[in-house]
Amino acid sequence: MELSVVYSRAVAGMEAPLVRVETHLSNGLPAFHIVGMPETAVRESKDRVRSAILNSHFSFPDRRITINLAPADLPKEGGRFDLPIALGILTASGQVPTLALERHEFLGELALDGSLRAVPGAIPAASASSRAGRQLVVPADSAALAALAPDSRVIPAGDLLTLCAHLNGSRPISQRAPALVGGDCTYPDLRDVAGQQWARRALEIAASGNHDLLLVGPPGTGKTLLASRLPGILPPPSPEEALTLLALRNFFDPTDSSEYFRRPFRAPHHTATAIALAGGGSKPRPGEISLAHGGVLFLDELAEFSRHSLEVLREPMESGEITLSRASHRTRYPARFQLVAAMNPCPCGYLGDPDRACRCTPEQIQRYRGRVSGPLLDRIDLHVGVYRLPPAQLLDPGGGNEPSSTVRSRVCHSRRIQEQRQGCANARIPPDRLAGICQLGRAQRSFLESAALQMTLSGRAIHRTLRVARTIADLAASPECSCEHIGEALAYRGANLPG
């Protein structure tokens, strides 16, 4: 047979569209052509494929070879099509049986000696192939990741020769079983934070309701230390969420499956560009906000980030995803992150510090704070001041601080209440359900209305205050939001900040 079809999978964000690798051998001068919108790495595969076939002790046909990667309008990238191209040539030349290919899909980059190297996108490909009812053949190094996809049937292949022996039926390869992955991960402990009870309380509220948090205070007061403890008090991710987190990391490390249930903590430097945060490039890849999906995005020195970079955050904070558009296609990545930001109250950093005088003029302070736009600050639920502690409190060996495990148990209990009541964390309650879920009485409504007028709160800020109040009530196991809960939530709208 001089025509063959091999199934493979491309990469399109978090999806893996089907690609038919069609191979035709015809008479004429020997040539090797690949069509179907291949990028440079795909066009170069013909040299890798030829060497791999010859070094695997097969014969390379001395004919005109045409490879079509269909559909033609789908961009093809990377070395993931090396293996299906090689199998297509071997099948069209009669060296591998055709029937064996119909039940499989293939991914893998070929080395010159015929061995297979790992490729990104194994998890979406495994999920898509299982829905199509076919087995997925991947390099052995990618098999552990691919096997984690639900109902996947993964065949690990070490090299082209061993795989062909499996397809010929002479030496079958066992299907890879999903590895048992533990859910215990080690995080920095909240016990290490001395004092700062107000900030610790805000951190617990943020973890319970999935709220965003802004820490403002002089340098060296523990803002970064507090932020790094947030992942350790968050509830562990669900298996579906953990798989999404692993698939996002797989874009940059195609073999790492360690710490499957670990919440991410991403802390980009303030020189990071908008593309670094949002993702992008000619072949769009996830940025920091997508790699922080399901975890924490920590922006230290918030006012030092460029205005353009910070404005990129506004839409994903509302929608939980980001769409990267190019001329020929659009790529969507999840971006349901929890923002924790830290900044100084002024350029010198000592505004409101009782021990050191601020040297900044009012104009300098206003200009410094103006680097962060009002709409972005309006989207952050909790604004908390972090102040300098007395040396005696910092050096107290007893401390008496709660460990992360104790705080996490309260957070998990509160989160279970939220899931049972509305099916999501409080920070994601739709506006049309907010009043009914908070169960506001006449006194609570009057109190919130007068406070909103006095503080000139926007409609968004009022809704976010109600969501925070609902979280505070859930931590207190209260079925309704009292004026006390609303008052505490209002205190996190900036009334406690330095200056």
Q: How far, in Å, CA of 264 to CA of 236, rounded?
A: 11
**Average pLDDT of the residues in 115-126:** 93
How far apart, in Å, are the Cα atoms of 320 and each of 180, 210, 387, 420, 433?
A: 30, 12, 32, 21, 19
**Average pLDDT of the residues in 310-326:** 89
- Domain 3-168: top CATH class: alpha beta
Output the pLDDT for position 297.
97
Q: How far, in Å, CA of 155 to CA of 245, rounded?
A: 23
- Domain 190-491: top CATH class: alpha beta
Residue 400 in this model has a pLDDT that exceeds 70: no
pLDDT tens-digit series, residues 173-232:
998 887 655 556 789 999 888 888 899 999 999 999 999 999 999 998 889 999 999 999
Q: How many CB atoms lie within 10 A of CB 102?
A: 11
Domain ranges of the chain: 3-168, 190-491
Cα–Cα–Cα angle for 238, 244, 250, rounded to 5 degrees: 135
* CA-closest candidate to residue 279, choices 303, 243, 254, 315: 315
Cβ contacts of 453 within 8 Å, gap of 6 or more:
none
What CA dihedral angle connects 55, 58, 62 and 68, to 10 degrees? -90
pLDDT tens-digit series, residues 72-103:
888 888 899 999 999 999 999 989 888 778 88
Residue 19 in this model has a pLDDT that exceeds 80: yes
Output the pLDDT for position 410.
96
H or E stretch at 362? helix 362-369
Output the pLDDT for position 402.
87
**Average pLDDT of the residues in 130-147:** 92
Residue 347 in this model has a pLDDT that exceeds 80: yes
Residue 493 confidence class, pLDDT cut points 50, 70, 90: confident
Output the pLDDT for position 211.
96
Strands 213-216 and 382-385: parallel
Min mean pLDDT across 188-192, 350-354, 383-387 is at: 350-354
pLDDT tens-digit series, residues 258-280:
777 889 999 999 999 999 999 88
**Average pLDDT of the residues in 374-384:** 92
**Average pLDDT of the residues in 375-399:** 82
| Cβ(109)–Cβ(11) below 8 Å | no
Q: How far, in Å, CA of 403 to CA of 462, rounded?
A: 33
**Average pLDDT of the residues in 276-301:** 91
Output the pLDDT for position 17.
94
